[in-house]
């Protein structure tokens, strides 16, 4: 099993630069005061398609050989990766099919279709979506672009932390959410290469804590259909992602559902930006462990802003 | 009646610089495609206290002579000005009393108190709040800092367009909401001085169209208790503001309640930022008059982001 490395991240960054935003980094006097830390928020909610997923998707799509590309791409996704892949495919002018759980927020389904992607629904379980995808690929020959367990995707997601470390000096800690592990493993590659003293932490919903338990157990544990408001973090760690997480991630911190919702609401209220529940997990973990973060310079990756504005979790 | 001028704006900018953010300017491929214009959004929702009002309030408070300042400040405000004045007073270490309509969003009342301001409620009519304020000043000797009809406040608000014009070259149009007229009159001062060819437009709720009707009539008309979702724009034009508007503002465009709500929702959904209903008025007007904005470079001032997250207008 060949893990991607920082060279792959650098090649990805060159390849995707014309198609993504270099997103801004915001600070918040309120959250600095609440945490005692100095926080730098990397705002991937402002990224193309509203999430960091555009980085990995564009890298995978534009890395395909021309003959392969003509058969199109396909994936399964609870939403943001599907949207990102649909747009990346549209940018290259090829077809895209996305398998989505029936429970996916309507806004995300509409958005995949809005970018020209074709949506196929499946039961909301990790096992069901893989099976549905296999059937589609058998029929069409499409190139599968997995949402996280893929070297091209990991390298693409790593460009986010690369930008963060280039733009903010001397970060003591970088923290990102962990679900399937695409973002955190790419983040770890960039941190280890660019700033070896920087701790790499992951925030995970306590209700979907497969990564936390995997690290404790020393082996990758898979969880089917966890229940959390952070719908972007329901997936279990992929194989490649596990290989990087167990090597390069320093710790995983958990956040309760209540803390995720309250922190999401606080981010909206105080920073005036729209973030998804998944985004709130790292800050919720920071607020729950103030002693670990006091007086530290902390980079926090805000992953996306695709929320169904009809259904806010605190209403 | 001595109108403030651009020199006052420049002096205000120096005075307030340590206490306010130079807010970022965002662009949106989505809204550029929808309008055919090139739009530059000046994000005062990211300003201290969540609105441009901090500019005028800080200018007024820090411009007071020391002996006057010790008697504190007072004002009436539907919310953002009160919050801004309370914070500005706290920054200087003096007292602040804010008269607010009973109908003000709870989040704004709490915020005024959170900054250390004292809130006194009144009936939700323009006449009632002036009377309540007069009583407070008679008792305490506090310095009144009006929300808009005040040279110090207008000069402070003008710093927003000054920054916009310094940061974005060759704007054909600058558009801002109009309520009491503090922002638009300051905006006009900066535009006329820095970029005389730039058109200055105002967006106004059709349900609170006193400025529109005043310009048509050639005299300042006052409206009591208009009903609009854009609660920051219920006030009628002040005298100083009228003097600048009739001289320097090129046109006023109206927006319906339905368009304001739908545009606010679109800004949240596509730009991933939290803006108040008042913010949506200029963009709603642009979307309603595409022929006036096509191929133009347009600066749009987004005024604030203080929303009660329990009560969203589209739910």
Please give the Cα distance from A81 to A88 (Å, whole number): 10
Rounded CA-CA distance B81/B119 in Å is 12
Chain A residues whose beta carbon lies within 8 Å of the beta carbon of residue B315: 310, 315
Residues carrying CATH 3.40.50.1100, chain A: 6-51+154-302, 54-144
Q: How far is B91 from chain A (nearest CA, A)?
A: 14
Q: Where are the alpha helices (DSSP H) in chain A?
A: 6-16, 29-35, 53-62, 66-69, 80-92, 106-114, 126-140, 151-167, 182-194, 210-217, 239-248, 257-271, 277-288, 290-293
Strands A38-43 and A25-26: antiparallel
Q: Smallest Cα–Cα separation from A204: which of A270, A249, A152?
A: A249
* CATH classification code of A6-51+154-302: 3.40.50.1100
User: What mean pLDDT value characterizes chain A?
Assistant: 95
**Rounded CA Rg of chain A:** 18
Beta carbons within 10 angstroms of residue B269's beta carbon: 18
B267: its two tokens: 């800004």
Q: Which of B33, B167, B263, B272 to mutate to test the interface with A (most CBs of A within 10 A)?
A: B272
CB B289 within 8 A of CB B253: yes
Instruction: Decide if domain B6-51+158-302 falls under CATH 3.40.50.1100.
Output: yes
Q: What does B96-156 look like in DSSP terms, one character per residue? A: EEEEEETTS-HHHHHHHHHTTPEEEEE-SSHHHHHHHHHHHHHHH-PEE--SSSSHHHHHH
| Contact check, Cβ <8 Å, B309/A273 | no
Angle of helix B80-92 versus helix B53-62 axis, rounded to 10: 40
Q: How many CB atoms lie within 10 A of CB A90?
A: 16
What are the pLDDT digits (tens) for B213-252?
999 999 999 887 789 999 889 889 999 999 999 999 999 9
List of chain B residues whose C-beta atoms are within 8 Å of the C-beta of residue A22: none
Judge: B269–A309 Cβ closer than 8 Å, yes or no.
yes
Where residue B172 falls (left for φ over 0; alpha for ψ -120 to 50; beta otherwise) is alpha
Whether the CB-CB separation of B280 and B256 falls below 8 Å is answered with no
Yes or no, beta carbons of B272 and A46 under 8 Å apart: yes
Residue-wise pLDDT for A30-58, tens only, equals 999 999 999 999 999 999 999 999 999 99
Helix axes B53-62 and B151-167, enclosed angle (nearest 10): 130
pLDDT tens for each residue of B123-137: 988 788 889 999 999
Considering only A103-107, A290-294, B28-32, B82-86, which range has the smallest mean pLDDT? A103-107
Verify whether the Cβ–Cβ distance A309 to B312 is below 8 Å: yes
CA distance B253 to B263: 15
Nearest to B163 by CA among B299, B2, B306: B299
Query: What are B13-31's pLDDT values in tens digits?
Result: 999 999 999 999 999 999 9
B112: its two tokens: 């005024």
Give me the pLDDT at residue B223, please: 85
What pLDDT, in 10s, does the model give residues A193-231? 999 999 999 999 999 999 999 999 999 998 877 899 998
* pLDDT value at B105 more than 90: no
Whole-angstrom Cα distance, residue A203 to residue B245?
Answer: 52
Q: Dihedral (C-alpha) B178, B181, B186, B188: value to the nearest 10 degrees?
A: 60
Q: Taking 80 as the threshold, does the pLDDT of residue B47 lie above it?
A: yes
Asked if the Cβ–Cβ distance from A268 to B315 is below 8 Å, we say no
Say what the pLDDT of residue B97 is: 97
User: Cβ of A45 and B107 within 8 Å?
Assistant: no
Q: CB–CB of B305 and A272 under 8 A?
A: yes
pLDDT at A74: 97
On chain B, the residues whose CB falls within 8 A of the CB of A51 are none
Those residues whose C-beta lies under 8 Å from the C-beta of residue B7, and which sit 6 or more positions away, are none
Range B54-144: architecture per CATH: 3-Layer(aba) Sandwich (3.40)
Yes or no: say if B6 and B146 are a contact pair by the CB < 8 Å rule: no
Identify all chain B residues contacting A24, using CB atoms and an 8 Å cutoff. 24
What is the three-class DSSP state of B210? helix
ipTM of the complex: 0.92
Which of A13-17, B169-173, B255-259, B308-312 comes out lowest in average pLDDT?
A: B308-312
Closest-CA residue of B relative to A51 is B272
Mean pLDDT on A52-73: 97
Residues of A in contact with B107 (CB under 8 A): 269
Measured CA to CA in angstroms, residue A110 lies from A75, B20, B220, B315 at distances of: 16, 39, 47, 19
Residue pLDDT, tens place only, B158-206: 999 999 999 999 999 999 999 999 999 999 999 999 999 999 999 999 9
Q: Write the Ramachandran bin of B99: left for phi over 0, alpha for psi from -120 to 50, otherwise beta.
A: beta
Could you give the residue range(s) of every CATH 3.40.50.1100 domain in chain B?
Answer: 6-51+158-302, 54-144
**CA pair distance A47, A58, nearest whole angstrom:** 12
Q: pLDDT per residue over B254-279, tens digit each?
A: 999 999 999 999 999 999 999 999 99
pLDDT of amino acid A235: 87
Using a pLDDT cut of 90, give the percent of chain B over it: 87
């Amino acid at each position: 099993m060949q893990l991607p490395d920082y060279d792959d991240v650098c090649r990805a960054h060159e390849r995707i630069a014309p198609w993504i935003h270099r997103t801004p980094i915001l600070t918040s006097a309120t959250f600095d005061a609440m945490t005692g830390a100095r926080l730098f928020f990397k705002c991937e909610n402002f990224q193309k398609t509203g999430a960091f997923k555009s980085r990995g998707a564009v890298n995978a799509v534009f890395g395909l050989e021309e003959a392969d590309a003509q058969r199109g791409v396909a994936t399964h996704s609870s939403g943001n990766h599907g949207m990102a892949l649909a747009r990346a495919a549209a940018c290259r002018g090829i077809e895209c099919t996305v398998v989505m759980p029936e429970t996916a927020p309507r806004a995300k389904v509409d958005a995949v279709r809005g970018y020209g992607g074709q949506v196929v629904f499946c039961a909301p379980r990790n096992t069901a979506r893989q099976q549905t995808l296999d059937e589609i690929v058998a029929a069409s020959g499409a190139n599968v672009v997995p949402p996280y367990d893929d070297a091209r995707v990991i390298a693409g997601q790593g460009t986010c932390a690369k930008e963060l470390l280039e733009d903010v000096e001397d970060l003591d800690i970088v923290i990102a959410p962990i679900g399937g592990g695409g973002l955190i493993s790419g983040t770890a590659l960039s941190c280890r290469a660019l700033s070896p003293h920087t701790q790499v932490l992951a925030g995970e919903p306590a209700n979907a804590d497969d990564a936390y338990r995997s690290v404790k157990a020393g082996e990758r544990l898979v969880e089917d259909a966890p229940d959390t408001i952070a719908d972007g973090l329901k997936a279990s760690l992929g194989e490649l992602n596990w290989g990087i997480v167990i090597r390069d991630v320093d710790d995983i911190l958990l956040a309760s559902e209540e803390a995720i919702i309250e922190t999401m609401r606080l981010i909206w209220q105080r920073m005036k930006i729209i973030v998804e529940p998944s985004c709130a997990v790292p800050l919720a973990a920071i607020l729950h462990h103030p002693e670990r973060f006091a007086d530290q310079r902390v980079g926090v990756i805000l992953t996306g802003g695709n929320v169904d504005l009809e259904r806010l979790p605190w209403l």
